[in-house]
């Protein structure tokens, strides 16, 4: 679909030029990127919780241990949900 240059440049000058791009796989790609971003964010939160718990251990062992237990539960929940949701898709 090639137009002569004067017609296409006249359409551009008249602000009547359009370009259409078909992306049939874009929703699937965006869904996958959203899932990846959520997993990265959950991993960063888990990492922060582990680091904070490790830093608390010398000063307040009870709070540090609670942080480790919460991080373990969150990590286990994250792994289980990733395994089950990826299997069903």
SS (H, E, C) the chain: CCCCHHHHHHHHHCCCCCCCCCCCCHHHHHHHHHHHHHHHHHHHHHHHHHHHHHHHCCCCHHHHHHHHHHHHHHHHHHHHHHHHHHHHC
Return the pLDDT at 84. Answer: 86
Place of tokens 């609670």: 66
pLDDT band at 68 (very low <50, low <70, confident <90, very high): very high
Please tell me whether the overall predicted TM-score, pTM, comes out greater than 0.95 for this model: no
Domain ranges within the chain, ordered by starting residue: 24-88
pLDDT number for residue 82:
86
- 5 has a pLDDT exceeding 70: no
Task: Specify the higher pLDDT residue, 18 or 39.
Answer: 39
Per-residue pLDDT, 54 = 94
Predicted confidence (pLDDT) at residue 23 exceeds the cutoff of 70: yes
């Amino acid at each position: 679909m090639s137009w002569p240059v004067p017609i296409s440049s006249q359409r551009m000058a008249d602000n009547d030029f359009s370009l259409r791009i078909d992306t049939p796989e874009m929703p699937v790609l965006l869904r996958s990127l959203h899932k990846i971003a959520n997993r990265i964010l959950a991993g960063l939160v888990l990492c922060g919780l582990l680091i904070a718990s490790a830093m608390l251990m010398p000063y307040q062992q009870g709070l540090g241990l609670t942080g480790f237990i919460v991080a373990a539960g969150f990590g286990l929940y994250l792994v289980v949900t990733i395994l089950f949701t990826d299997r069903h898709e």
